[in-house]
Amino acid sequence: MNLHNLISSIKPVNTEAAKACEARFNNVAKPIGSLGKLESLVMQIASVTGSAEVSLNRKAVVVFCADNGVAQSGASLYGHEVTTAIAKLLALGKSSVSVMAESCEAQVFPVDIGMVDTVNGLRSCKLMSGTNNIAKEAAMSAETAEKAIITGINTVKELKEKGYNIIATGETGMGNTTTSSAVCSVLLGRPAREVTGRGAGLDDAGLLRKIAAIEQAIEVNKPDADSPMDVLHKVGGLDIAAMAGLFLGGAIYNVPIVMDGFISGAAALIAVRLCPLSRGYILPSHKSFEPGARIILEELNFSPVIDADMRLGEGTGAAALFPLLDMALAVYNNAATYDDIQVGN
């Protein structure tokens, strides 16, 4: 099935399931609505799955690994060797997100969607050995971008069939805050300087080089702001494309997908522009320190529960939401009700 047909199958979330979930929460022996956004997230999960019987007993973090040619333009402190090093840690279960996920009983699935090097222990879905330098030419072909999105969609299908009932989005790859800033700048009509941060620690001169590279990429490629696919293939990255596929896959297969930080947010923006209905299937996790991330949150009207100035990537912010959801569900499923204590709610 092609991408158009897959997107056409997306339906609105189930509001009746959300109402049933709310009624059940309101019968828990506590002030109504007192868990705030945590209750809203549980209700949203019910609306995604179509059932007020909410369980998150199998949690996944999918980390797409990809290199970006724009890192060669001075927009990044590091080259593809660092992507490779992090990917090796992911394969060993020793990266930051790996140990965070282990602490909350989530499984990490690292995927090579477009690394320069090849790392044993990663699932290979390599479409390119790194994208082209967007400051000089399009990142990838439109066909490659579509293949990356479909890879993300199929990943959701496979994980759901294996019993996973919530998926967090993650990525690693040098230069991907640059591509995310470019996507954000074009789709939101904002100057590059407004949506561009220091990424992995750029100094003032490095930040200026990064902004210049983004401005040049937009000038060279002339992406069409009204076409998410045009923006994606011209100035985006394979990790962004694959994560956009995860968000769309969640909407297709009724699986809640947790958004991480800036790069994940750029992917969510692509997904929502491709299919506005997909927004209801996306759970925001945290407010990234990156300026573009907060602008995307405003655009999507998301209000995350975590504000910790995180900017690590890998899906760490998304994984940090899992324990909070587990605690909210513990109350939802196990706490005493007003009926139990014979007090009217």
Handedness of CA 82, 87, 92, 97 (dihedral sign): positive
Please report which residue ranges of 95-167 form alpha helices under DSSP H: 96-103, 142-161
CA distance 273 to 293: 16
Strands across the sheet with 257-259, in order? Answer: 123-124, 106-114, 59-66, 166-172, 257-259, 282-284
**What SS3 state is found at 164?**
coil
Unique residue bearing structure tokens 């022996």: 29
CA distance 85 to 81: 6
Tell me how far CA of residue 193 lies from CA of 126, 139, 147, 292, in angstroms. 32, 21, 31, 10
CA distance 168 to 318: 6
Alpha-carbon dihedral 154, 184, 325, 245, rounded to 10 degrees: 0
To the query of whether residue 171 is one of the catalytic residues in this protein, the response is no
CA distance 137 to 215: 13
Unique residue bearing structure tokens 């967007």: 134
33: left (phi over 0), alpha (psi -120 to 50) or beta: left
3-state secondary structure 220-278: HHCCCCCCHHHHHHHHCCHHHHHHHHHHHHHHHHCCCEEECCHHHHHHHHHHHHHCHHH
Length of the chain equals 345
User: Could you say which of 22, 39, 171, 314 is catalytic?
Assistant: 314
- Give the tokens for residue 238: 């394979």
- Tell me which DSSP letter residue 296 carries: H
Residues taking part in catalysis = 314
